[in-house]
Amino acid sequence: MCGLAGAFDPGTEEAAWPARLAGMAEALRHRGPDDEGLWHDAKAGIGLAFRRLAIVDLSPAGHQPMLSASGRYVIAFNGEVYNFRELRTKLEASGERFRGHSDTEVMLAAIEAWGLEAAVATFVGMFAFALWDRTERRLHLVRDRLGIKPLYWGWSRGALLFGSELTALRRHPSFEARLDRDAAASFLRFNYVPAPHSIFEGFRKLEPGCIRTFDLAAGPRGGEGRLAAYWSLAEVAREGLTHPFAGDEHEAIDELERRLTESVALRMIADVPLGAFLSGGIDSSLVVALMRARATGPVRTFTIGFEEKDYDESEWARKIATHLGTEHTEQIVTAAEALAAVPRIAALFDEPFADASQVPTLLVSELARRHVTVALSGDGGDELFAGYKRYALFADLKRTLSRIPRGARRALGRALGAVPVDAANRLLGFADPWLRRYGSGGAAGDKIHKLAELVALPDDRALYQDLMSHWRNPELLVEGGRPRPA
């Protein structure tokens, strides 16, 4: 997994840098058990720390922080660039020579040859990195297109702190831990703290698909630097709507299979044991099937099950594993074992996070780590292929409400909201189609009151945000807090 941290703090004495960086690195040991690297330039006021989980090029040639061949750039990089071999071939054709076989070295060579923004646009993978330009005295923070890898940053007491986790930033003596009340309210609404915010005031997550550059030649300025987007999900979506796929259904299926196969194949590049999480659902089963088609040997799969049958999916995973012929490992978890994992969650997730799957995810990760170093999963499938119930619900509500004039919608919302719950229960037959789509549990009266809120919302964005909200009025619980939009 790896982890990086660093600081721009020109007030730090030469003798203090190693201990400060080592402290930040130690907070990331769980992300990178294989190696530690520290680098600093006290005169420039900059230092980088790194903990490594070795996946590609296990030799010392992959050690970080890494200097570019010319010595101009220093990088601390968390993640993987899957197409690094293709990029390496292109760079070698232009005369570049390499010391080792890591993707980090290829990234540095590409940045030197093509410039940062042009190079990052060619990187296919998941990554977050800090790049120090020793010539221009500029710090670049870069995050992958979808924000898979984390990267936090913020100014505190004249120091610019950055890293993979807030826990590492907290090890620096300049860090001030002040609760961001707006972020706390957002957490209560969405069950997580949306980017670019963090739970601590003054510290932010770098936006996905972006490069944030700090010109530090003149010393600390406390500003936000310059933000440049090298990729935009919104632009990609608009382009897809403007120029939709022109083939028929069969051609679409073939093209999707080709792209998924290529994607899985790229993620199987590793110099360490590889496996996959398998739940028995569509996403993870498809990933494992594509891995099995590409693998030259057995594929290792891992599943967590539960004694409570209502929550146990291990039977389906076992059937998929048998069908695909994987080397399958499962662990049935007791209620006591699941509860024992809960106290560790807060430290592992770095800031408040309330996804219901976090306990089984932790347990299956620990199970897999006993056997493999890298594990593929089906995470992201619901987001990319509209698998969540709220997507269909939003489309249904939007289509239905678009037929009602906005003034009439507000009046209807007020009227429904004014009906007492007991009386509303008797209206179930009238509102049955919407109520059943809204959710399977709860009294009809409660559902009608929720429906009243949805009907009265001013636009599509407000409607979708409401459907994503787990708590509609978190400002009532957090004094002085205002939830920010996701």
Catalytic residues: 2
Q: How many CB atoms lie within 10 A of CB 430?
A: 12
Contact 106, 98 (CB under 8 A): yes
149: left (phi over 0), alpha (psi -120 to 50) or beta: beta
Contact 290, 378 (CB under 8 A): no
Q: How many CB atoms lie within 10 A of CB 427?
A: 16
* Contacts for 198 with CB less than 8 Å, ≥ 6 apart: 152, 154, 166, 180, 183, 204, 205, 351
Residue 120 CA to residue 118 CA, distance in Å, equals 6
Contact 82, 265 (CB under 8 A): no
Residue 169 CA to residue 175 CA, distance in Å, equals 7
Q: What are the distances in angstroms from CA 235 to CA 114, 230, 232, 242?
A: 24, 11, 5, 10
Give alpha helix (H) positions in 39-171: 84-93, 103-114, 116-120, 166-169
* Contacts for 485 with CB less than 8 Å, ≥ 6 apart: 194, 461, 465
Contact 219, 10 (CB under 8 A): yes
Q: How many CB atoms lie within 10 A of CB 60?
A: 9
